[in-house]
Chains A and B, each alone.
Chain A
């Protein structure tokens, strides 16, 4: 691990609980530092319930948990006012499991967007960063396409490129998406891995279920697996949320 590991990026102080379709889940107290890769997995997955979206949204400051505190870069994000939170959010790269790209913009325009809002760069510098990012993710040839013109794996890769263009401290992935397909022909996971090994981000992957191959791949590349547990079967009738 890099020397930057000492600096905590994400901290779940009192543990975390959240509910999905009537089930309550608990994540143990956890600290994720820069250069660290954590894959969060349910210990006993429910075949018909996917807690990934809820958990990743909580970590990405998009919705509060039932219980527990989420600290990002030392700030309790669910006690922050809107404007300071808005200024903190560029430090988080959120990779949607599906969708998430703006459908009326091309790949290039999607990646330019966070950079043009928060980058504070001149047009020339912006252009250079975009070119480098497109090249890094092998998106240069399809930069002019809109999301509906691409397959799911490519959309995911473009979403990952957009999430990483601002060099966020924390990267949250909602599921492992097209992991097998991307590893076979894409560049998304390998870029993420390269950046992880270089200690550039704290990476948290939220998984819906156990995935032996992915687990093995994570552990082989100095990642860690943290399991979260289902603490109650029903707090409300399914479908009531």
Chain B
């Protein structure tokens, strides 16, 4: 009878331990920016920019394609559900809430997991096995500052950019794609979307991107850096990183959406202040 309680407790403590380690890595990755501020800023910035390129620029095409599909589908379904001109304002609100606030962070997060989380955990794992991280240490270069912090900073910047691209393409491109199917004039559509975006939406959007980005990249780096000596540990690290990231993505998005749904008055208040 008590066995499963023990197991549950053990799993919970394990989860807590894991989360603490992730926060520890996050703390260190911010701390080294300050403690190593006198060491090679040029190379650090280069690493951040490289990460923006690998994660952001190289992911634009799949994000654009998916955004067009999502935008077109949402507009067609939205029009079908709430009518055309009579529901233009509602359509704008619907697209803003669903596409910008909910779907964009989820889909871009998914793209990032597929492309970057797996790549980062594999790269860092291989670097461990090939003693490249040890080589950094012996040169007096913090591996956290050289490898983890730029990936988190660059990754968050890239995720933010991809979300903006996703929003613009899904709304603009989606409208263009479905032009022959719907009869809403462009000016009415644009006005309905823009008037539906509130400062509260921007706050929620920013929090989601920041939280998602930091979470995904810390998980990726943690699993990559956890590899010890054997190359057989690398695929295990990649698999754990991608699975944990996926779970984190959904749990974080859901938790944030649910919190905001319950406390929507707080959002309105933030919006009012802004």
- Contact check, B131 vs A99: say whether CB atoms are below 8 A apart: yes
- Contact check, B135 vs A117: say whether CB atoms are below 8 A apart: no
Binary contact readout B112-154 vs A (1 if CB under 8 angstroms, 0 otherwise): 0000000000010011001110111111111000000000000
A118–B39 Cα gap in the complex (Å)?
6
When C-beta atoms are compared, the residue in chain A nearest to B135 turns out to be A100
A60–B135 Cα gap in the complex (Å)?
10
- Contact check, A101 vs B140: say whether CB atoms are below 8 A apart: no
| 8 A Cβ contacts from A40-89 to B | 57, 60-62, 83, 86-89
A177 at the interface (CB under 8 A from B): no
A13 at the interface (CB under 8 A from B): no
- Contact check, A94 vs B42: say whether CB atoms are below 8 A apart: no
- Contact check, A62 vs B137: say whether CB atoms are below 8 A apart: yes
B40 at the interface (CB under 8 A from A): yes
Q: Taking the nearest CB of chain A, how far is it from the CB of B82, in angstroms?
A: 51
| 8 A Cβ contacts from B3-38 to A | 35
A114–B146 Cα gap in the complex (Å)?
11
| 8 A Cβ contacts from A121-180 to B | 123, 162
Complex contacts, A118 vs chain B, CB 8 Å? 39-40, 139-140
- Contact check, B142 vs A86: say whether CB atoms are below 8 A apart: yes
Number of A interface residues in the complex (CB < 8 A): 26
A118–B123 Cα gap in the complex (Å)?
25
- Contact check, B39 vs A100: say whether CB atoms are below 8 A apart: no
Q: Taking the nearest CB of chain A, how far is it from the CB of B130, in angstroms?
A: 5
A100–B134 Cα gap in the complex (Å)?
8
B263 at the interface (CB under 8 A from A): no
Q: Taking the nearest CB of chain A, how far is it from the CB of B55, in angstroms?
A: 15
When C-beta atoms are compared, the residue in chain A nearest to B44 turns out to be A117
Q: Taking the nearest CB of chain A, how far is it from the CB of B126, in angstroms?
A: 7
A90 at the interface (CB under 8 A from B): yes
Complex contacts, B136 vs chain A, CB 8 Å? 102
Q: Taking the nearest CB of chain A, how far is it from the CB of B92, in angstroms?
A: 45
Contact A117 B40, CB 8 Å, known A60-B138, A89-B140: yes
Complex contacts, A92 vs chain B, CB 8 Å? 138
A104 at the interface (CB under 8 A from B): yes
A92–B131 Cα gap in the complex (Å)?
17
Q: Taking the nearest CB of chain B, how far is it from the CB of A146, in angstroms?
A: 12
Q: Taking the nearest CB of chain B, how far is it from the CB of A70, in angstroms?
A: 14
Complex contacts, A90 vs chain B, CB 8 Å? 139-140
Q: Which of A104, A117, A123 contacts B139 (CB 8 A)?
A: A117
A132–B35 Cα gap in the complex (Å)?
31
- Contact check, B132 vs A103: say whether CB atoms are below 8 A apart: yes
Complex contacts, B35 vs chain A, CB 8 Å? 83
When C-beta atoms are compared, the residue in chain B nearest to A91 turns out to be B140
Complex contacts, A103 vs chain B, CB 8 Å? 126-127, 130, 132
A96 at the interface (CB under 8 A from B): yes
Q: Which of A96, A114, A117, A123 contacts B131 (CB 8 A)?
A: A96
A83–B31 Cα gap in the complex (Å)?
12
A41–B43 Cα gap in the complex (Å)?
39
- Contact check, B123 vs A104: say whether CB atoms are below 8 A apart: yes
- Contact check, B39 vs A62: say whether CB atoms are below 8 A apart: no
Binary contact readout B147-184 vs A (1 if CB under 8 angstroms, 0 otherwise): 00000000000000000000000000000000000000
| 8 A Cβ contacts from B43-78 to A | 43
Contact A116 B43, CB 8 Å, known A86-B140, A86-B142, A104-B123: yes
Beyond A88-B140, A100-B131, 7 additional contacts (C-beta under 8 Å) are A62-B134, A62-B138, A87-B140, A96-B131, A96-B135, A100-B132, A123-B42
6 A-B pairs with the lowest CB-CB distances in the bound complex, closest first: A89-B140, A117-B40, A94-B138, A100-B135, A90-B140, A99-B130
Q: What are 10 residue pairs bridging A and B, where the CB atoms are less than 8 Å apart in the complex?
A: A61-B138, A62-B137, A83-B35, A86-B140, A87-B140, A99-B131, A102-B136, A114-B139, A114-B141, A116-B42
